[in-house]
Amino acid sequence: MPTAVMPAAILSGRPSGSPDAAGLSGSMPGQESGAEEARAGVSVRCRVSRAASLLQIAASLIFIPQAAAVSVAVGAIAAGSDAREAIWPALLVAVLGVARAVLDAVGSRMAFLSARAALSDLRTRAVIALSAGSPLDTARPPSGRAASVIAEQAEAVVPYLARFRPARLRATVVPMVILACVFAVSWVAALVMLIAAPLIPLFMALIGWRAKEASERQLGEMGSLNGFLLDRLRGIATIRSLGAVDATARRVRAEAESLRRRTMAVLRIAFLSSAVLELFAALGVAMVAVYVGFHLLGQIGFGAWGGKLGLGEGLFVLLLAPAFFEPLRELSAAWHDRAAGEAAIEALENLSRDRTSFPGTQEDATTLPSAAPAVPGVRIEGLRFRHPGRSLLTFDGFDLAVAPGEHVALLAPSGVGKSTLLALIAGLARPQGGRIMIGDAPMDDANAAALRQHMAWIGQTPHIFAGTLAGNVSLGRPGISSDDVADALGAMELAHIRDRAPAAIGESGAGLSGGEALRLALARVAATPETGLILADEPTAHLDSATASGIAASLLTLAQGRTLLVATHDPALAALMGRVVRLDASSLEAAA
C-alpha cells in the first residue's frame, strides 16, 4: 500500500489548520470501494476456519469409539473374560488417541492461522479506509484512537475467530451426536442431558449481552486514553511552559483509574459466567452419574432399552456425560472472547464506515492512461461548495483559469477559502456543483488517481518522520535513487545537513528548524520530476522575514517549468508570483 497518493508529496505538508481548511469531510474524488474485496478475503478465511472447526469436531467425536472400546473391555473383564482380551481395545484406544491429538492440533493450528489472516484483512480494510479519507476531514478518528484500535484492540479478533467460532460449531454438533449415542443405550440419561444442556447457552446469552456491552465500553475507554496520551505527548512543551504538568498528571491518573474500573468490570463478568456455567455442567454430569449408579445398584429399574444397564453400558454413558458437556464448557470459556472480539470488529468497522479506498494503489494508477499533460493548466467553472454543517456556501459560481506553467497567488485573509480551494483542486474534498479541470481531464472519480500522479501539496506544517534526510525525501517510493535524493537536497540548500546521523532527525522533525523542515518538503517535490502542478498552502506562514524570503526563492526555483498555485495572505510572497487572484470574502469572485 503506498505511503502517499500524490507521489511527489501529499506528505510534503499537512493541510493548513486555518479556519478555511477546517470542516471538510467525506470521501475524496477518485475513490472506489475496496470493501468488497476485503469482505471476500474475510469470507475465504471464514471458510478455512470452518475447515479447521470440522477437524476439531472430528477429534472430539473420536472419543465416542474410545469410550466404547474402554466400556467393552471393562465389561468383558468384569464378566470374567481373560484380561488379554483387553489388549486390542487398549491398542484401539491408543491409536484413536493419537489420531485425536493430531486432528485437534492441526485444526487448532489452522484456526489460528486463518484467524491471523482474517485479522490482517480487517486491519487492511481499516488502514485503506483511513488513508482514503480526506486529510481535511474533521470526522476522521483521532490518531491515538485509530492506532489503539488497529494495533492493540484488534488482537481480540484472533481468539474470537480461533477459539469461539470453532467452539460454537463443536457445541452445536458434538453434543447432538453424543446425545444420540447415549439415547441408544438409555433414554433417561439422554433426557437428563437434554434438560441440563439448554441451561448453559441460556445463561451464556444472558451474561453475553452484559459482557459485550462492558467490553465495548472498556475498548472505547482504552482508545480515548491512548488518544489523550498521544495529544499530551505532542504538546508536552506547551504543558511545561504553562506549568500544567501536575494537572495533566492528575488527569492521566484519573483516566487510568477509569480504565482500570472498566477492565475489572469485564473480568468480573467473565469469572462470574465461567463459575455459573461450570456449575450447570457439573450438575448435569452429577445427575447422570446418580441415575447410572442407582440403576446399577438395582434401585432404579427403568430407562434402559434392554431392561437393565450392564456395567459396560453404564460405564459408556458415564464416560460420555462429561464429553457431552465439554463442548458447552469450552464455549462458555470462550464466551468472553466473543464479547471482546465482536467489540474489536465493530471498532475496526467504525474506522471503515462511510469511507472508501482510492481507485487503485499507486502502482495500479501507473497503468491508467495519463489524465493530464506534464505541465497541466487548471480551469474552474461554476464551482459551488459548502462546508458540512454550515448554511452559507464558501464558493458559489466561482470561476478561475490558470494557464500551464503559470504561477498564481491566491491572496485573501484567513478563513475566506484559500486552503479550501486548493483542497478542491487536489480532490481532497468533493464540490456540490461546477467542475474542476486539470488539463483536459475533469477532477472526478474516474481520473483523480491518475491526476494526482502529477500533483504535489506543500503545507505550512510538513510532517517529518524520525530517521534520515534521505528517507524523508524518498518516503519509500520506488524509482527515487540516492542520486535523485542528493540532487534534491542540494537544490533545496540542505546539503549541509545531508550527512547527519539518523538520530539527528527526531519525530515530527525534532532537530530541524521550521525553515529546514519546509525545505525538506520542497526536496520531496524536487525528487519527483513528473510533478507538473504544485499546490502550496501558506508556505511562509509563521516564518521570520529572512527565512520566508529564502523559502519563497526556493519555491520559485522548484516551480520553474511547472504550474504553481500558492494560497497566502502574505503580500510579499504574492508579489513574486506571475499573477495574483484576490478572493473577496463577500462575493468570492476571482479578479486578476
Per-residue model confidence as pLDDT tens digits over 471-505: 888 887 887 888 888 888 888 877 777 655 554 67
Where does 184-244 have alpha helices with state H?
A: 187-196, 199-234, 236-241
The predicted-structure confidence for 263-288, as pLDDT tens digits, reads as follows: 787 777 767 766 777 777 788 888 88
From the list 117, 138, 128, 148, the residue with the least C-alpha distance to 44 is 117
Dihedral of CA 236/240/242/243: which sign? positive
From the list 115, 124, 123, 127, the residue with the least C-alpha distance to 157 is 115
Integer CA distances (angstroms), 513 to 223, 234, 504, 550, 555, in order: 32, 17, 12, 13, 17
Lowest-confidence segment of 501-510, 515-524, 542-551 by average pLDDT: 501-510
- Dist CA 558 CA 566 (whole Å): 13
- Yes or no: say if 390 and 23 are a contact pair by the CB < 8 Å rule: yes
Q: What angle do CA 276, 278, 283 make, to 5 degrees?
A: 100
- Dist CA 111 CA 101 (whole Å): 15
pLDDT confidence of 389, banded at 50, 70, 90? low
- Yes or no: say if 522 and 556 are a contact pair by the CB < 8 Å rule: no
Q: Which H helix or E strand runs over 580?
A: strand 579-583
- Dist CA 383 CA 400 (whole Å): 9
DSSP string computed for 446-463: TTHHHHHTTEEEE-SB--
Gyration radius of the chain's alpha carbons = 34
Kindly tell me the burial class for residue 487, based on how many C-beta atoms sit within 10 Å of its own C-beta (0-12, 13-18, 19 or more): middle
3-state secondary structure labels for all residues of 250-282: HHHHHHHHHHHHHHHHHHHHHHHHHHHHHHHHH
SS3 331: helix
Give 465's DSSP letter.
Answer: -
Instruction: Give the phi and the psi of residue 442 in degrees, each rounded to 5.
Output: -75, 145
The grid coordinates listed for 223 are 482508545
The grid coordinates listed for 370 are 495519463
135: Cβ–Cβ under 8 A, 6 or more apart, which residues? 10, 14, 15, 428
DSSP string computed for 386-405: --TT-SS-SEEEEEEEE-TT
Q: What angle do CA 413, 414, 415 make, to 5 degrees?
A: 115
The predicted-structure confidence for 412-426, as pLDDT tens digits, reads as follows: 877 777 888 888 888
Sheet of 441-442, strand order: 395-402, 378-385, 433-438, 441-442
Integer CA distances (angstroms), 218 to 144, 226, 261, 264, in order: 16, 12, 9, 9
User: Which residues are bridge partners to 455 per DSSP?
Assistant: 533
The larger pLDDT score, comparing residue 396 to residue 371, is at: 396
Residue type, 481: S
Task: Give yes or no for residue 533 having a pLDDT over 60.
Answer: yes
Q: Within a 10 A sphere around the Cβ of 180, how many other Cβ atoms?
A: 11
From the list 548, 70, 83, the residue with the least C-alpha distance to 312 is 70
User: Which residues are bridge partners to 379 per DSSP?
Assistant: 401, 437
- Yes or no: say if 388 and 354 are a contact pair by the CB < 8 Å rule: no
Residue type, 178: I
- Dist CA 506 CA 513 (whole Å): 12
- Yes or no: say if 64 and 92 are a contact pair by the CB < 8 Å rule: no
- Dist CA 332 CA 270 (whole Å): 9
- Dist CA 53 CA 72 (whole Å): 30
Lowest-confidence segment of 35-44, 255-264, 398-407, 413-422 by average pLDDT: 35-44
From the list 119, 107, 207, the residue with the least C-alpha distance to 156 is 119
The larger pLDDT score, comparing residue 107 to residue 466, is at: 107
pTM for the whole structure? 0.63
347: Cβ–Cβ under 8 A, 6 or more apart, which residues? 149, 153, 154, 219, 220, 223
pLDDT confidence of 3, banded at 50, 70, 90? very low
The grid coordinates listed for 271 are 469469572
The predicted-structure confidence for 125-162, as pLDDT tens digits, reads as follows: 888 888 776 666 666 777 777 877 888 888 888 888 88
The predicted-structure confidence for 40-89, as pLDDT tens digits, reads as follows: 444 545 555 778 888 999 999 999 999 999 988 888 888 777 777 778 88
Where does 297-378 have alpha helices with state H?
A: 311-333, 335-352, 362-365
Terminal alpha carbon distance of the chain: 42
Only one residue has cell 482380551, namely 85
SS3 16: coil
Sheet of 563-568, strand order: 455-458, 533-537, 563-568, 407-411, 579-583, 590-591
Q: What is the pLDDT of residue 213?
A: 65
Q: What is the pLDDT of residue 225?
A: 76
